[in-house]
Chains A and B, each alone.
Chain A
Amino acid sequence: MINLIVLPILIPLLTAVLLIFFASKVKTQRWISAISALLNIGVAFSVVRKVFVDGIQILNVGSWVAPFGITLVSDMLSALLVLTTTIIGFAVILYSFSSIGKEREKYYYYALVQFLLVGVIGAFTTGDIFNLFVFFEVMLMASYVLLVIGGTKIQLRESLKYLTVNVISSALFVISVAYLYSVVGTLNMAQISERIGSLEEMPGILTVIAVLFLIVFGMKGAIFPLYFWLPGSYFAPPIPVMALFGALLTKVGVYSIIRTFTLFFFQDKDYTYELLMILAIITVVVGVIGSIAYWNIKKIIIYNIITAIGVILYGVSVATTTSFTGSILYLIHDMLIKAALFLLIGVMIKITGTSNLRQFSGLIKHYPGLAWTFFIAAISLAGIPPFSGFVGKLLVIQGGFTAEEYIGATIILLSSLLVLYSVMKIFIHGFWGVPKEYAKKESISYRALLFPIVLIITISVLYGIGSDYVYSYVSQAVQTLVNPELYIEAVLKE
């Protein structure tokens, strides 16, 4: 079946359209979206198997051969990210059933989630730089609506900020693509890479374009000087939306940085990679400072996103096989664990009615399941050995030390400690201590909420324990990153 790699995009797209027809029937909406999400996990899994067995998969959309039409490319990196996205999508949809509320559900909530998944999966799969822009917009427009849906005051304020920032960065994206197009004369990523690669040395204008792309994707992915919008905007929406944003949106920016820097701008590494490294290190520092400064559990997790992005991009900027492997392992781990953490604090907020850590304690007495799930999530986040964050971070740091980038590697090593402190603070102050009476004692569907979280945590634990097995997949993904020729050959064969 030659259309296999378009199916992960097509299934949520068709589902989203179908859901528009069933706007008033909440039960039907839930069934349709859950079934389609589950189906998509299966399809994404078979894409991963296919890429693993047969190498990079391409699909020339509309039968137009490679540089002239849009090409969808599924190498191992994008296949793995698509699989992770579908898993997170499924878990968040299940979580939404008993938390998002009828009002929002009737207002096309599930359709919007599916559109968001279309955008994210499309951005991971496309092989055309302008098509990447289009999928970015699909993703962003869905995220605008998901951010504002419900219409509370804080949501309105924050979506105005979020919208402004993203409109500006999208305009900058178009400008960057226009510059790049005027230099290389093509939009197909493989052909861009081939044309830049055939130059004797990288001319100054391409370095400028590289920095422009860094600014654009850095704004989407929240790296150091461009992260300012994230803490406020991610604070506003309801929990499942927050989980989707935290787990997926910034990671698309990170993926785009990885893709453009390894595929386009690999020749003259001195300036661009140095810049990326400095920014990544400062991002880690900023994230860590934010996460230990706050007593609001939402804010703590939000700043942990920023830290993780710094760690991943540090691995990319070192640009050795080891550090790339570490980055990708950490990227997938981080998507899973951030989704789980957001959903977990969602349950805590539902129980206690507040997100201020100083106002509750002793949750472990009545909710031991929640407590231990949170504990596992927390130590995986920090990277304690049997769990999933360990191998990725280890390889990133190892890559840093072998490339003699001691400062960055040391900072990341130390940052793990503070990350652990920030989540353990939640655990110690929130779960231990004397139980308090909470204002809202009405029975919340605690088990239904915990199920998708346990699902993600289980996958994440398996991911950590089965690192050997995962490693064979990830090393295949790294091959395309260190060897752009593989990508070019797969797309521009004949």
Chain B
Amino acid sequence: MKSSDVILQTTSKIVFFVILLFAIHLFFEGHYRPGGGFVGGLVTAGAIVLFLLAFDIKTVSILLPFDYKWVTAIGLLISILTAAGSIVFNVPFFTHTYDHFHLPLIGETSLHTAALFDLGVYLVVVGVTMTIIQTIGESE
């Protein structure tokens, strides 16, 4: 069953990174153009699913040794803490803030806390999708 998958496995190794880059692109585009955490997360999960199709569950869990339930929980934690951070500054819950920064390589950038919230969404989507697919795949 494994032996005839050479073409699929080789292409998926290359395509994986293309998809992943596209997912990251979508994620960072979210604020100004269509995209964001949800679709970024789904595309990332799609890349991992491609690996699952080309190899098997065991190999993929060696390649990407994450417990996806934890990924979900960490994502939730990031989102909630971003929202709850406003409590420390005594402004209404969920108030976001942004500022302009001069970063070494990229130069003048505006960083917004909404991106952190989106990162949480991203992780939750990846975590939930992968948990669903893995559990269904593993159950006999």
Contacts and interface: CB of A to CB of B under 8 A. Distances in A.
Interface of A: 1-3, 6, 10, 13-14, 17-18, 20-21, 23, 59-63
Contacts of A20: 69-70, 72-73, 76
Q: Is the interface of A mostly helix, strand, loop or mixed?
A: helix
Contact of B95 (A1, A13, A63): A63
**Majority SS of interface residues in chain B?**
helix
Q: Which 8 A-B pairs have the closest CB atoms?
A: A20-B73, A62-B94, A6-B93, A63-B95, A17-B76, A61-B94, A3-B87, A63-B92
Interface of B: 69-70, 72-73, 76-77, 80, 84, 86-87, 90-96
A405 B24 CA distance: 65
Contact of B90 (A2, A13, A21, A61): A2
12 contacts: A1-B90, A2-B92, A3-B87, A10-B84, A10-B93, A14-B80, A17-B73, A17-B76, A17-B77, A23-B69, A61-B93, A62-B94
Residue of A18, A20, A59 contacting most chain B CB atoms (<10 Å): A20
A63 B84 CA distance: 13
A3 B76 contact: no
A62 B92 contact: yes
A3 B69 contact: no
Contacts of B76: 17, 20
A447 to B, nearest CB: 35
A18 B74 CA distance: 9
A176 B80 CA distance: 30
Given A3-B87, A20-B69, A20-B72, A13 B92 contact: no
Contacts of A10: 80, 84, 93
Nearest to B86: A3
A43 to B, nearest CB: 13
B92 A59 contact: yes
A446 B80 CA distance: 39
Contacts of B73: 17, 20-21
A111 to B, nearest CB: 9
Contacts of A3: 86-87, 90, 92-93
A61 B92 contact: yes
Nearest to A60: B92
Given A62-B94, A63-B92, 14 more contacts: A2-B91, A3-B86, A3-B87, A3-B90, A3-B93, A14-B80, A17-B76, A20-B76, A59-B93, A62-B92, A62-B93, A62-B95, A62-B96, A63-B95
Nearest to B81: A14
A59 B73 CA distance: 27
B134 to A, nearest CB: 16
A414 B84 CA distance: 51
A210 B35 CA distance: 37
Nearest to B87: A3
Contacts of B96: 62
